[in-house]
A and B are shown apart, each in its own frame.
Chain A
Amino acid sequence: EAQVTQNPRYLITVTGKKLTVTCSQNMNHEYMSWYRQDPGLGLRQIYYSMNVEVTDKGDVPEGYKVSRKEKRNFPLILESPSPNQTSLYFCASSYAGNSNQPQHFGDGTRLSIL
Chain B
Amino acid sequence: AQSVTQLGSHVSVSEGALVLLRCNYSSSVPPYLFWYVQYPNQGLQLLLKYTSAATLVKGINGFEAEFKKSETSFHLTKPSAHMSDAAEYFCAVSDFGNEKLTFGTGTRLTIIP
Q: Which residues of B contact A94 (CB under 8 A)?
A: 99
Asked if A105 and B44 sit within 8 Å, CB to CB, the answer is yes
- Minimum CB–CB distance for B105 against chain A, Å: 4
B9 on the A face (CB < 8 A) = yes
Which residue of B has the minimal Cβ distance to A4? B43
Total contacting residues, chain B, CB less than 8 A:
26
B94 on the A face (CB < 8 A) = yes
Q: Which residues of A contact B51 (CB under 8 A)?
A: 100
Q: Which residues of B contact A31 (CB under 8 A)?
A: 99
A107-B42 CB under 8 A given contacts A100-B49, A100-B51: yes
Our pick among B49, B97, B104 for the contact of A42 (Cβ within 8 Å) is B104
Most buried by B among A44, A45, A90, A102: A102
Most buried by A among B9, B44, B98: B44
Our pick among B45, B49, B95 for the contact of A105 (Cβ within 8 Å) is B45
- Considering the chains assembled together, what is the distance between the CA atoms of A4 and B42 in angstroms? 12
A-B contact count (CB 8 A): 60
Asked if A108 and B105 sit within 8 Å, CB to CB, the answer is no
Asked if B32 and A43 sit within 8 Å, CB to CB, the answer is no
B34 on the A face (CB < 8 A) = yes
- Minimum CB–CB distance for A104 against chain B, Å: 8
- Minimum CB–CB distance for A55 against chain B, Å: 13
- Considering the chains assembled together, what is the distance between the CA atoms of A40 and B105 in angstroms? 6
- Top-4 shortest CB links A-B: A105-B43, A100-B51, A42-B105, A42-B103
Binding site for B on A (CB under 8 A): 4, 31, 33, 35, 40-45, 48, 50, 58, 90, 92, 94, 96, 99-103, 105-108
Write 18 A-B pairs (CB below 8 A) sorted by A numbering: A42-B90, A42-B106, A43-B90, A43-B101, A44-B103, A48-B99, A90-B43, A90-B44, A92-B44, A96-B99, A99-B32, A99-B97, A99-B98, A100-B32, A100-B94, A101-B99, A103-B101, A108-B42
